[in-house]
């Protein structure tokens, strides 16, 4: 059994050279909202869910992006409602939110 049941990483990368990056597309607000929801739901901590910041996850064209482990499901999101759906369905119940899954062909 792993230390956390699920682990979600949010790309918060910002590029100095002006290239597109998740930070330019609301990634931080998605991260903050997810972290607050997980804490409010009592899901944080060992045996629960861990919400982490990440540097570039190399899927910039689909940004903002987040990935949930251990299932290795990649998501894109637009707003807090999308994050709520990921929390309610995937992080709480293990159900993949198909409409937000980042296609495997999307890269940098």
| pLDDT value of residue 1 | 67
Q: Which residue has the tokens 């190399």?
A: 58
What is the distance between the alpha carbons of residues 97 and 104, in angstroms, rounded to a whole number?
15
Tens digit of each residue's pLDDT (9 = 90 or more) over 25-71: 999 999 999 999 999 999 999 999 999 999 999 998 888 999 999 99
How much of the chain, in percent, has pLDDT values that exceed 90?
82
Tokens representing 106 are 């999307």
Please give the helix or strand (H or E) that residue 69 lies within, else none.
strand 65-69
Report the chain's mean pLDDT, rounded to a whole number. Answer: 94
Q: Which residues contact 39 (CB under 8 A, 6 or more apart)?
A: none
Kindly report the pTM of this predicted structure.
Answer: 0.93
Q: How far is CA 55 from the centre of its chain?
A: 12
What is the distance between the alpha carbons of residues 14 and 12, in angstroms, rounded to a whole number?
7
| pLDDT value of residue 18 | 76
* Architecture of the domain delimited by 6-100: 3-Layer(aba) Sandwich (3.40)
| 98 three-state secondary structure | helix
């Amino acid at each position: 059994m792993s230390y956390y049941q699920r682990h979600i990483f949010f790309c918060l990368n910002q590029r100095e050279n002006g290239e597109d990056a998740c930070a330019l597309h609301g990634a931080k607000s998605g991260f903050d909202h997810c972290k607050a929801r997980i804490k409010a739901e009592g899901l944080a901590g060992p045996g629960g869910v861990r919400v982490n910041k990440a540097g570039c996850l190399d899927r910039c064209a689909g940004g903002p992006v987040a990935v949930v482990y251990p299932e290795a499901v990649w998501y894109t999101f637009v707003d807090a409602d999308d994050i709520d759906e990921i929390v309610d369905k995937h992080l709480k119940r293990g159900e993949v939110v198909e409409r937000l899954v980042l296609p495997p062909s999307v890269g940098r």
